[in-house]
Amino acid sequence: MHLHRLEKIWLSFGIAMLAVFLIVLGATAFGSGMKPPSEHHHAIDPTKVSETAPFDKPGLTQTGDKQYEAVLVAYAFGYEPQTLEVPVGSTVDFMITSSDVVHGFNIIGTNVNLMVEPGEVSHISHVFDKPGEYLIICNEYCGTGHEYMKTTIVVK
């Protein structure tokens, strides 16, 4: 295949501009210190979740006035604990991990949606302003029986 001299010039110009763009983008990202978010990031041994505090005693603890910390463990087709109860207007700081495979953590009717990876501790907070029963489901396929994986938060 024969390329005309002007086609070669334009192809070279296009490739050079693409290379310049990628180099500038990479240098800018590296220079400004861009990295994945690492706030509250920590990991534990997924084979020892039930032996590692605070996941050895999952549940809800009050940390302040209308401030709660919920420690949850996702496992094959369930969450521990099964239900949580908080008063209306409470802020719940969730701390969740998985002991086996990747799970989801989605509170229906809110914007809370996490991917829970084995050994990775995920954090998210939510204020429950309306009373009711909030369903938490797994939205990452985790095997046969996945559709039964749920827990609830009762807001009174």
Same domain membership, residue 48 and residue 2: no
Same domain membership, residue 129 and residue 102: yes
Same domain membership, residue 131 and residue 73: yes
Same domain membership, residue 60 and residue 17: no
- Mean of pLDDT over the chain: 88
134-146 pLDDT, tens digit each: 999 998 888 888 8
55 strand-pairing partners: none
The CATH number that applies at residue 137 is 2.60.40.420
The larger pLDDT score, comparing residue 129 to residue 143, is at 129
Phi and psi angles of residue 19, each rounded to the nearest 5 degrees, phi first: -65, -45
Cα distances (Å, whole numbers) of residue 146 to 32, 77, 133, 141, 143: 42, 5, 21, 6, 6
Which of 11-25, 39-53, 97-111 is predicted with the least confidence, judged by mean pLDDT?
39-53
37-84 pLDDT, tens digit each: 555 567 888 888 888 888 888 989 999 898 999 999 988 888 889 899
Q: What is the pLDDT of residue 78?
A: 86
Q: Which domain holds residue 12?
A: 1-35
